Amino acid sequence: MTIQVGDRLPDATFAKATPDGPEQVDAASFFQGRRVALFSVPGAFTPTCSARHLPGFVEKAAEIRAKGVDEIACTAVNDAFVMSAWGDANAVGDKVTMLADGNGAFARAVGLEFDGSKFGMGTRAQRYAMVVNDGVVEALHVEQAGEFRVSSAEHLLETL
């Protein structure tokens, strides 16, 4: 079942690359007591994700934060090292936190996974953007397959 507005995020663990290696990030702790814009991409270094999705959030980070968002985070079913390298390649700096969902546990838990096997990608997360306020989904924008509109930084800004 897909998570809905008003639902509390399920228990899950992400990974984040640090100079000392991957660090486990507990979702409940990460989202607790603050408002986070979380967006998901099917895969790091993939065409739309690299050309438009992540760069849009990097470019609009200050505007999104000005609307009361404490942190912007990107997740994908990739490992922490790939997410870190992709963040470096896109100069995310401290504008976007890169959260790896390497085994797709978060994507499954929120019901937003898809089968990308025909593309050689296995199970991945759908493209979406959500606003999470103290662990509760405040807004959710899930793309239709093959589209990129409602999960964009620009659309999220319009809805904040």
Catalytic residue set? 49
3-state secondary structure labels for all residues of the chain = CCCCCCCECCCCEEEEEECCEEEEEEHHHHHCCCEEEEEECCCCCCHHHHHHHHHHHHHCHHHHHHCCCCEEEEEECCCHHHHHHHHHHCCCCCCCEEEECCCCHHHHHCCCEEECHHHCCCEEECCEEEEEECCEEEEEEECCCCCCCCCCHHHHHHHC
Of 140, 147, 143, 125, nearest to 36 by C-alpha is 140
